[in-house]
Amino acid sequence: MSHCAIVGINWGDEGKGRMVDLLTSEYDIVIRCQGGGNAGHTVINEKGKFALHLLPSGIFREGVVNILGNGVALDLENLWIEMEDVRSKGVAITPENLKISDRASLLLPWHRQLDGLEEARLADKKYGSTKQGIAPFYSDKYQKKTIMAGELLHPAHLKEHMADLLEWKNLTLTSVYGAEAVTMEEMKNWFADYGEKLKPFICDTGKYLHEAVKNGKKVLYEAQLGALRDVDYGIYPYVTSSNTIAAYAPVGAGIPGVRADKVIGVVKAYSTCVGEGPFVAEWFGEEAEKLRQAGGEYGAKTGRPRRVGPIDIPATRYGVQCQNATDIALTKLDVLSYMDEIPICARYELDGKETDDFVFPVLLQDCRPVLKTMPGWKCDISGCRSWEELPESARNYVLYIEEAIGCHITYVSVGAERDAYIER
């Protein structure tokens, strides 16, 4: 298997970073294909604990080349800050092991500013944005109103392009939101601060990848968020502004002709969701707080408490279908060890009728979870390293999910550390 995509099946935070860090040992290249600094991929390995936002999670493995593909929202400022932080913990980041696509578009300071201004305007109707500028960035990208990273290598052209963009963007900033206009001087300083530092990493990664694939290199695609946040297939408008699905991964990576031959869908053993939007299986009160505490469910990027609930089978089955997953990595099974009985949202009830379908987004708010329970195991499973070692009721829970979502669960993760998993 030369092309493997690691993708989220649900609302994000399933443990993709943890799985990428584990599986990079088998790959030569790791590529972030979409999304931006709003990601929070937690990795715990011998180098320490990291919450990666833009850097691919293969950055810790010697010999692995990490690429930020053309599909990402390239926030030079936050990327540089993140690089400095990761480097300070003894991880080498050089143009040898990190390459930035010259076709990646730049998330500019005003995208972050506009994200905040728009969420403030929406007030209680807000989408729950991480305010990293992702939505304004992608709208500008598709309006052809931002800059490609490769333009940094052509300063005269960049200056002219920037002046045109400023004139246009200041109309929105000042007239629509009543904010201060951005000056050319400010942008010049911003590019001098961050553009210059990152210039050595920018190259034609499409060409590099074409050669690498021809020479038999193995590629891992690291997606951000999950299928239910995909702009086309998710719970619109409570989605992110890019495609989180595996089919998009090679497009955003820089090798559009390729199709991933292995798609590992990451599923959490229960449901979590950050931000707004319908969340059928949601728990509230003490029950929710207990699960949140047990799973440490606070956003890696924002620190926001995550909404929690039992695993949602209709949503997960739909996510598996959108991702066309060949394998599942089921994470955080250890978190459920405190429960006497394991709750499952097996189906939805809509208008008095039960359904297996993940229904059209606007109908989700009227769905009620149809719950079932399975016996718990009530013991610490974080030391288990083989399928046989898992208590029978834990195995039965895994097998139930496998059957219900129709995809083989190849990995069961029982801890956040690299080696805390079972392969079956």
d(CA 67, CA 74): 12
Is 24 an interacting residue with respect to ligand GDP (CB under 6 A)?
no
Least spacing, CB of residue 38 vs Mg ion, in Å: 9
The stretch near Mg ion (CB under 5 A) out of 12-20, 125-133, 230-238, 400-408 is: 12-20
List C-alpha distances in Å: 24 to 2, 27, 65, 203, 263.
12, 5, 10, 23, 14
According to DSSP, the residues that pair with 267 across neighbouring strands are 330
Cα 378-384-386 angle, rounded to 5 deg: 125
Residues with catalytic function: 13, 41
- Phi and psi (nearest 5°) for 180? -70, 145
Contacts of residue 222, defined as CB under 8 A and 6 or more positions apart, other chains included, come to: 6, 16, 17, 20, 30, 31, 32, 33, 41, 56, 57, 58
The stretch near ligand GDP (CB under 6 A) out of 189-197, 346-354, 370-378, 412-420 is: 412-420
d(CA 270, CA 259): 30
Among 3, 4, 18, 140, binds ligand GDP (CB under 6 A): 18
Both tokens of 191, joined, read: 């590019």
The stretch near ligand GDP (CB under 6 A) out of 68-76, 238-246, 278-286, 329-337 is: 329-337
Q: What is the DSSP string of 15-76?
A: SHHHHHHHHGGG-SEEEE-SB-TT--EEEEETTEEEEESSS-TTTTSTT-EEEE-TTBEE-H
Is 147 an interacting residue with respect to ligand GDP (CB under 6 A)?
no
Among 78, 132, 242, 413, binds ligand GDP (CB under 6 A): 413
Is 13 an interacting residue with respect to Mg ion (CB under 5 A)?
yes
Least spacing, CB of residue 222 vs ligand GDP, in Å: 9
Is 244 an interacting residue with respect to ligand GDP (CB under 6 A)?
no
Residue with tokens 């099974």: 333
Among 10, 24, 34, 42, binds ligand GDP (CB under 6 A): 42
Query: 105: part of which helix (H) or strand (E)?
Result: strand 105-106
What does 14 bind: ligand GDP, Mg ion, none (CB cut-off 5 to 8 Å by kind)? ligand GDP
Other CB atoms within a 10 A radius of the CB of residue 302 amount to 17
Fill in the DSSP letter of residue 207.
Answer: H
Least spacing, CB of residue 30 vs ligand GDP, in Å: 13
According to DSSP, the residues that pair with 323 across neighbouring strands are none
Residue 21 or 77: which CB sits closer to ligand GDP? 21
Contacts of residue 347, defined as CB under 8 A and 6 or more positions apart, other chains included, come to: 313, 314, 354, 355, 356, 370
Is 40 an interacting residue with respect to Mg ion (CB under 5 A)?
yes
Residue 200 or 383: which CB sits closer to ligand GDP? 383
The stretch near ligand GDP (CB under 6 A) out of 11-19, 27-35, 106-114, 177-185 is: 11-19
The size of the interface with ligand GDP (CB under 6 A), counted in residues, is 22
Is 414 an interacting residue with respect to ligand GDP (CB under 6 A)?
yes
Is 12 an interacting residue with respect to ligand GDP (CB under 6 A)?
yes
Residue 18 or 307: which CB sits closer to ligand GDP? 18
Least spacing, CB of residue 301 vs ligand GDP, in Å: 8
Is 40 an interacting residue with respect to ligand GDP (CB under 6 A)?
yes
Residue 269 or 405: which CB sits closer to ligand GDP? 269
Least spacing, CB of residue 110 vs ligand GDP, in Å: 26
Q: What is the DSSP string of 279-337?
A: -TT---HHHHHHHHHHHT-B-TTT-PBPEEESEEHHHHHHHHHHHT-SEEEEE-GGGGG
Instruction: Please report, as ranges, the residues that interact with Mg ion according to CB under 5 A.
Output: 13, 40, 300
Instruction: Please report, as ranges, the residues that interact with ligand GDP according to CB under 6 A.
Output: 8, 12-18, 40-42, 44, 296, 300, 331-332, 334-335, 413-416
